[in-house]
Structures are given as C-alpha cells and as structure tokens.
Amino acid sequence: MEKFQLSVLFKIIGIGSASGLVYHQDKLYIISDNSTFLYEYNILNKRLDKIALVENPQDNIIKKEKPDFESITLKGNNLVLLASGSTDKRNKLFKYNINSKKIKEKSFEEFYRKLKSELEIKEDELNIEGLIITDKKILLFQRGNGGTSRNGIIYADDEPDNPKIKFIPFELPNIKNVETTFTDAILVEDKIYFLAAAEDTSSTYDDGEVLGSIVGSIDFKTMKLESTILISNKHKFEGLTVYKKTATQLELLLCEDTDSEVLVTDIYSLIINK
C-alpha cells in the first residue's frame, strides 16, 4: 500500500461524530457515537433518513449518557451495531434487518464482563472500535488507548453460552511518539483492512489532541501485520467500508469522528493502489 489518494467525496448534513459506516446497494449506513439513530444515506438522490433504535432517540447525547456506538458491520441482511464497552452505559448490541426494517436489541454486558475477566483488561480500558463477523468467529478490535495500551484483536467463537476467547496483541506505528490504535476494521477476501489513530490521551473516555490516522492490512489467515501507511496527520478516522474494487485498486469510504456536536459529516474516498 505505497500509493494512495485521499479526498472528500461528499458532505452529509444531519450527522455528527460519525464513528462507523457500511456501504450497501448505493446506500451508506452510518452510526454516530453520541446518537441513538442509525442513519441511511442514499448516495444517488442524496437523501438522509434516520432510523430510530430506541424510544425518544436523540442526535446529540451528553457524553456521560451516550451509548457510544463505535462498530457496525453487515452480516447477511442484518446490520449489527455494537457499543464500545468503555462504560456500563455502553454495552448494547442492535441488529437492523435491511429488508424487514425490524430492530432487535441485546445487552452485551455479560460478554464484556467475560472479556475483561479472561483477558485481564482493566475495567476502564475496554474500548471496542471494530467488529468483523464470519461464519464461525467474531473479531473485536480493541483500541488500546488506555494506560496499559492493550491494543489488539479479540477472537471469540460464535458460541452464545460459553464462547472461547483469545487476544492477539498488535503494536502499531507511532505518530509524533504516540502509538496508533485500532479505530475500525473490515474483511476484504483474505485481508483485514484497518484504521488506527493516534490521540494524545491515556484515557478511553476523555478525548485528546488528534495526531493523525493510518490505514493498514493484516493477513487474515496468519494474523500478521502486512503494511501500514500514514494517511493523515490531523484526522481521526473511525469508520471504513469498501466502495469499489478492481484488480489494481481498492476504494474505501471513510468517516471522521470530529468529537463535535455539529451535525455535519464529511465522507472521504481513500483509493489504494494494490
């Protein structure tokens, strides 16, 4: 991934602090870490629809109360939205069926408690920012921006009662002497493409100065880091999805968490020459 092009593709009015996105059939499904809506943006007619996940949904929820949705992925016809687990108010999972429009809610509190216990992750350092679901495995991307820097991939088999769990640590490049840590990931054939950002803070709760973002790839079979490249020294990119793919190029769409209450979101195009 030596060559890339990064540019703003379009701007969406009505969404703030975007933290994840999925492209599917000319639509973008976007989550915000301080909202209880799922946003559906039709790229062709530039229309934004808001899907309420709960009763009395809000676009801007105060920090101590926000659900902190950081991960979204598509499994079959279901969009799966997952909160970060970084506080006891951030442990919900939602499924939205694109065809039936039905919504299911589930608590992830017990599962997160199991993660922290078995992997010895401190209570205030769990921070799940990416989610990949395969036929038999769930991969959770732990952003290790807490004091002990537990950055890595959590493997769990799809066993609802007693899942087996393991942790694969990843040490990623620094930006201005601050380690980058996972902010999202997707599976493209046999590669994991991920985003990671550097933020000058040792807290999973408090924001810090944004120092930039990288994109990288991991071999899915060996779980070895293949390559990384600095794509920005000022943006905290938190979501990526495949937009277009050819034999020589991969185009991803990215969203940025501005840590702001302003309801405006830029969607970026990142073209990587393979």
Domain ranges of the chain: 4-273
Tell me, which fold does domain 4-273 have in CATH? Neuraminidase (2.120.10)
State how far the Cα of 22 lies from the Cα of 15, in Å rounded to an integer: 15
Judge whether residue 160 has pLDDT over 70: no
Mean of all residue pLDDT scores within the chain: 92
Judge whether residue 200 has pLDDT over 90: no
Say which amino acid occupies 255. Answer: C
Residue 3 has what pLDDT?
A: 85
Judge whether residue 201 has pLDDT over 80: no
State how far the Cα of 79 lies from the Cα of 94, in Å rounded to an integer: 8
pTM of the model: 0.94
Phi, psi (degrees; rounded to nearest 5) at 110? -65, -40
Residue 249 has what pLDDT?
A: 94
Residue 26 has what pLDDT?
A: 97
State how far the Cα of 272 lies from the Cα of 274, in Å rounded to an integer: 6
Q: Order of strands, edge to edge, in the sheet holding 128-133?
A: 128-133, 137-142, 152-157, 165-169
Q: Per-residue confidence at 161, pLDDT binned at 50, 70, 90? A: low
β-partners of residue 75 are: 78
Task: Find the radius of gyration of the CA atoms of the chain.
Answer: 17
8 A C-beta contact, residue 133 and residue 73: yes
| 73-121: pLDDT as tens digits | 999 999 999 999 999 899 999 999 999 999 999 999 999 999 999 999 9
Place of tokens 């290790």: 144
Residue 162 has what pLDDT?
A: 73
Residue 7 has what pLDDT?
A: 97
- Kindly provide the b/e burial profile for residues 61-72, where b requires at least 16 CB atoms within 10 angstroms of the residue's own CB: beeeebbbbbbb
